[in-house]
Chain A
Amino acid sequence: MPAAQKTKDSGKEDPVKEITVEARTESIPVVTDFVNEQLEAIGCPIKAQMQIDVAIDELFANIALYAYETQKGTATVQVETVSDPPSVAVTFIDSGIPFDPLTKEDPDTTLSAGERQVGGLGIFLVKKTMDEVTYRYEDGKNILQIRKNLTV
């Protein structure tokens, strides 16, 4: 299925830009390129952009691997700028099984290499590098939003 891009007028200063793609890991580069295009258009600092790219990889991979279990599904990613405080918000929406990744316990980052567990690092990294991460389940949809301040 080709990726569907559209612009929705939300009534705010900047319209919400969104893309809908198949919920599979192969869609991650498509979503990343789409979001980067929007970020470049608003002059997002490169460091914030790369941190957002990492967050996309973590969050979209979660959706691709777990949201629909073995079934196919789609996910929508929205990008919008927020003026107060100056920031950018990226929202991930899927209709898969309800899952709040924020309830996952943070990994113990003080353990040695031998004791380290491999799971749970991704969402932890997102929480640490973004200014706000929120989750809600609404109308049968998982809605996860990250927000990154654009002030240096």
Chain B
Amino acid sequence: MNITKTLDKNVLTIALEGRLDTMTAPQLEEELKNSMEEADLLVIDLEKLDYMSSAGLRVLLSAQKQMADRGGMKVTHVNDIIMEIFEVTGFVDILTIE
């Protein structure tokens, strides 16, 4: 998985490419731990992400909880496969999806 990070004013955009799964979720977790403090708003861009498993959902949930006290977090460019994963797990009600 590739992670591209962009900080524009206080908006941190993390764009993911490939698969967010057991092997790659720790990479995202580490990246967020290192850079989330700089941001008031976190945008997770999934345009180039093929799919995610529950390991990825856990990282998103944790980020969502941490950003809730600040400007928040939103998830963008969700494909059909990932949207279905968000739907069946109830993550559609937890995340802000645009």
Cβ of A25 and Cβ of B90 under 8 Å apart? no
- Specify which of B21, B57, B61, B65 lies most central, judged by the most chain A CB atoms within 10 Å of its CB: B21
CA distance A49 to B80 in the complex (A): 13
Beta-carbon contact of A113 and B64 below 8 Å: yes
**A-B pairs with beta carbons under 8 A, tally:** 72
Cβ of A4 within 8 Å of any chain B Cβ, yes or no, is: no
- Contact check, A57 vs B21: say whether CB atoms are below 8 A apart: yes
| Chain B residue contacts of A51, Cβ below 8 A | 51, 81
Contact with B22, one of A25, A124, A125 (Cβ below 8 angstroms): A25
How many residues belonging to B are interface residues under a CB distance threshold of 8 Å? 26
Could you tell me which residues of chain A, from 89 to 113, have a CB within 8 Å of some CB in chain B? 107, 109-113
Which of chain B's residues have a CB closer than 8 A to the CB of A129?
A: 84-85, 88
B73-98 CB mask vs A (1 if < 8 Å, else 0) is 00000001100110011100110000
Interface bits A109-121 vs B (CB < 8 Å: 1, else 0): 1111110101001
* Interface pair B94/A116, CB less than 8 Å apart: yes
Contact B50 A50 (CB under 8 A): yes
Q: Return the CB mask of B43-67 against A: 1 if under 8 Å, else 0.
A: 0000000111111011001101100
Give Cα distance in the complex from A118 to B81, angstroms.
21
Check B5 for interface membership: any CB of A closer than 8 A: no
- Does A22 have its Cβ within 8 Å of any Cβ on chain B? no
Q: List 11 A-B contacts (CB under 8 A).
A: A25-B22, A26-B23, A57-B21, A57-B53, A61-B22, A109-B89, A113-B68, A122-B54, A125-B85, A128-B89, A129-B84
> Residues on A close to B: CB < 8 A?
25-26, 28-29, 47, 50-51, 53-54, 57-58, 61, 107, 109-114, 116, 118, 121-122, 124-125, 128-129
Rank and list the top 6 A-B pairs by shortest CB-CB distance, nearest first. A109-B90, A122-B54, A57-B53, A121-B54, A128-B88, A57-B21
